[in-house]
Amino acid sequence: MKICKTCGICCQSTEMELSIKDINRIEESNKTKHTKDDFCSFENGYYLLKNVNNSCIFYDLKLKQCQIYSVRPEGCRFYPMIYNIDQDKCELDSDCPYRNQFYQHPPVFKTKCKALRKWVNANLLKD
């Protein structure tokens, strides 16, 4: 699978949801001295990654890369696959210009979708 570090479109005006595990992993990393309040907000029952100047707080605009790539949120790891809760299905985000370079093989897509659905159900969906 291709590892994307090129355009950063997904890091612009992000609405990335964070799980408690994501928050703890980022806080405990030596990659950042940020606390939860520095990098996430709580809105409508979800923790969200903050934006600074219309970019993810951890995105380096000059280098065009994530400053916390090795500890990035799970949602970022699945991207450009996203889970459409309303339709109960996985899809590739139309905002990503390279989406067709990811998950090209149906068995890989199916396996990753199953993992994404499990992660969403365990970490993001409200009862």
51-52 and 55-56 strand pairing: antiparallel
Predicted pLDDT at 102: 87
pLDDT of residue 44: 87
Tokens of 21: 């595990």
Is residue 60 within 8 Å of residue 30, measured between CB atoms?
no
DSSP string of 53-71? TTEETTEETTTTEETTGGG
Q: What is the DSSP letter of 16?
A: -
Of 39, 41, 48, 92, the C-alpha closest to 67 is 39
Running along the chain, 127 residues long, what does each successive block of 10 average in pLDDT?
69 92 90 85 92 94 89 94 92 91 91 94 71
For the chain, give every domain's residue range: 10-123
DSSP H helical ranges for 14-105:
20-28, 36-39, 74-78
Whole-angstrom distance, CA of residue 91 vs CA of residue 126: 21
Model pTM score: 0.87
In the prediction, which pLDDT does 40 show?
94
